[in-house]
Amino acid sequence: MNTFDFTTIRRDFPALQQQVYGRPLIYLDSAATAQKPQCVTDTVNDMHRRLNANIHRAVHYLATQCTERYEQARETVRRFIHARATQEVVFTSGTTAAINLLAFSFGERWVGVDDEIIVTEAEHHSNIVPWQLLCERKGARLKVVPVDDAGRLQTNVLATLISEKTRLLCITHISNVLGVVNPVREIVRLAHTHGVPTLVDGAQGVVHQPVDVQEMDCDFYVFSGHKLYAPTGIGVLYGKEKQLEQLPPWQGGGDMIASVSFDKTTFAELPLKFEAGTANYIGACGLASAIDYLASIPLAAAHRYEQELAAYAMRQLSTIEGLQIYGEAAPKTGVVSFTIAGVHPLDAAAILDKSGIAVRTGHLCAEPLMRRFGVQGMLRVSPAFYNTPVEIDTLVVALKTAKKMLKA
Ligand code: PMP
């Protein structure tokens, strides 16, 4: 394993210092939400205590300070994902909100009867259900790209699914179940050769890979702050300016207007057109603080280390008889999901919990993928750069004990 200094990193995360049930916490559920470094909680606390006033409205000191910091946060996000302009960075409450925004706004503008939206079998519910709802509203159809047994997207099938009726292709960058990194650049290129725009769900991808939306050339990229070491309730919709320009607003309210009268309302310029109501400006500053934190650590080494940790977890877990891992295709990072023959995932997770080990269980918000692999649920460990190989070893020992207890 590379020489990533996780010992120093761990000191930045107060939550990792605690014990649960008298055992040191082993937090292996970062794909659900990541723990926060001290600098992020300090930013949020400081703003609540000292520097709080509504943005884009008043001229007083606190309001202008908050507005400036909010717009600086937008610039920080822009740089982080290499967007061309801050107009292309819309703050939302998270990935789900960003996708719903698009499903309404893009759907309103471009989707009609008999049109088609393509998603993949590996999507989180939040990149399926908003599109299903849109299809119901508009009389459109959802088409699905399958994954193979190793968790790879079957891109050869994708080519056959695209038709002149296809309005949008929605793919996950990294599945929250399989951990397989999808070849989004090539997929976007394929879609574009057919004139189809693309939405990439980056909720997991942005955490484990450098993201350059211009290089990826996707039309839309969405992610949540809370998985990226930032507070909950903040997320991002990136969209190419020429795409966002053409879309109608989704929600109406304060901040998204240029002028309002009972005869006619005109809308604010991008990105505020899509930010109705009081924005989560403190959350946005928390997100900027998390991105600054990531810039202060050796991030490329952290990403490599996460990939190695996932590979190490796969090797160690494979020593458990009857354990099956889903999504063995490389490159893989961030999550390892599995079942153990004869062991219910929930029972195993409950036993792990009593040893201080936090993992996720259930359908992982991806029921179609569960059905694809013929299981009702899985166990999922999702290591981040603050986890250690020793924690993986402890997990494996605890799982072996749990298996014995449950099979006795
Ligand atoms: N997509 C993926 C791939 C995810 O992992 C998640 C969160 N588990 C989401 C979308 C939804 O994110 P949020 O709940 O933060 O909106």
123-175 pLDDT, tens digit per residue, is 999 999 999 999 999 999 999 999 999 999 999 999 999 999 999 999 999 99
Q: Could you tell me the pLDDT band of residue 2, with boundaries at 50, 70 and 90? A: low
Residue whose Cα lies nearest atom 8 of ligand 1: it is 32
Ligand 1: distance of its center to the CA of 96 in Å? 7
Q: How much is the pLDDT for 375?
A: 97
Residue whose Cα lies nearest atom 14 of ligand 1: it is 96
CATH of the domain at 339: 3.90.1150.10
Tell me whether residue 36 is in a domain: no
pLDDT tens column, 223-266: 999 999 999 999 999 999 999 999 999 999 999 999 999 999 99
Tell me whether residue 12 is in a domain: yes
Q: For ligand 1, is residue 355 a contact (CB within 6 Å)?
A: no
Domain count across the chain: 2
* DSSP assigned state of 96: H
Question: Average pLDDT, stretch 272-282?
Answer: 97
Q: How much is the pLDDT for 87?
A: 98
| One domain, residues 148 and 289 | yes
Q: How much is the pLDDT for 3?
A: 76
| One domain, residues 253 and 333 | no
Domain that holds residue 155: 41-295
Contact 242, 220 (CB under 8 A): no
Q: For ligand 1, is residue 339 a contact (CB within 6 Å)?
A: no
Task: Determine if residue 365 is left, alpha or beta; phi over 0 gives left, psi from -120 to 50 gives alpha, anything else beta.
Answer: left
Tell me whether residue 211 is in a domain: yes
Reading the block at residue 306, the tokens are 């996460």
Ligand 1: distance of its center to the CA of 95 in Å? 6
Tell me whether residue 35 is in a domain: no
| One domain, residues 93 and 223 | yes
Of ligand 1's listed atoms, the one at least distance from the Cα of 97 is 16
Q: How much is the pLDDT for 193?
A: 97
Ligand 1: distance of its center to the CA of 188 in Å? 21
**Residue that finishes a domain, picked among 255, 272, 295:** 295
| One domain, residues 219 and 318 | no
Per annotation, catalytic residue among 66, 218, 285, 365: 365
Q: For ligand 1, is residue 115 a contact (CB within 6 Å)?
A: no
| One domain, residues 19 and 126 | no
Q: For ligand 1, is residue 201 a contact (CB within 6 Å)?
A: yes
Q: For ligand 1, is residue 130 a contact (CB within 6 Å)?
A: no
Cα dist from 183 to 173, 228, 405, whole Å = 8, 21, 41
**Residue that finishes a domain, picked among 262, 295, 328:** 295
| One domain, residues 284 and 302 | no
The answer to whether residue 197 scores a pLDDT higher than 70 is yes
Q: How much is the pLDDT for 125?
A: 98
| One domain, residues 185 and 87 | yes
Q: Which helix (H) or strand (E) holds 214?
A: helix 213-216
Distance CA 20, CA 355 (A): 8
Q: How much is the pLDDT for 329?
A: 96
Q: How much is the pLDDT for 336?
A: 98
Q: Which of 93, 96, 123, 175 to mutate to test the pocket of ligand 1 (most atoms within 8 A of CB)?
A: 96
* DSSP assigned state of 348: H
Q: How much is the pLDDT for 407?
A: 78
Residue whose Cα lies nearest atom 6 of ligand 1: it is 203
Average model confidence (pLDDT) across the chain: 97
Q: For ligand 1, is residue 30 a contact (CB within 6 Å)?
A: no
**Residue that finishes a domain, picked among 277, 295, 313:** 295
The answer to whether residue 408 scores a pLDDT higher than 80 is no
Cis peptide before 331 (omega within 30 of 0): yes
| One domain, residues 97 and 213 | yes
Q: For ligand 1, is residue 380 a contact (CB within 6 Å)?
A: no
Q: What percent of the chain has pLDDT over 70?
A: 99
Tell me whether residue 145 is in a domain: yes
Tell me whether residue 21 is in a domain: yes
Q: Is 218 a catalytic residue?
A: no
| One domain, residues 144 and 225 | yes
| One domain, residues 19 and 77 | no
The answer to whether residue 1 scores a pLDDT higher than 80 is no
CATH of the domain at 114: 3.40.640.10
Ligand 1: distance of its center to the CA of 4 in Å? 27
Cα dist from 335 to 101, 175, 307, 330, 360, whole Å = 27, 9, 9, 12, 10
- Contacting residues for 213 by C-beta, under 8 A, at least 6 apart: 81, 82, 83, 221, 238
pLDDT tens column, 16-65: 999 999 999 999 999 999 999 999 999 999 999 999 999 998 999 999 99
Of ligand 1's listed atoms, the one at least distance from the Cα of 95 is 16
Q: Which of 30, 121, 124 to mutate to test the pocket of ligand 1 (most atoms within 8 A of CB)?
A: 124
Q: For ligand 1, is residue 94 a contact (CB within 6 Å)?
A: yes
| One domain, residues 62 and 13 | no
Question: Average pLDDT, stretch 316-327?
Answer: 98
| One domain, residues 145 and 278 | yes
Question: Average pLDDT, stretch 59-83?
Answer: 97
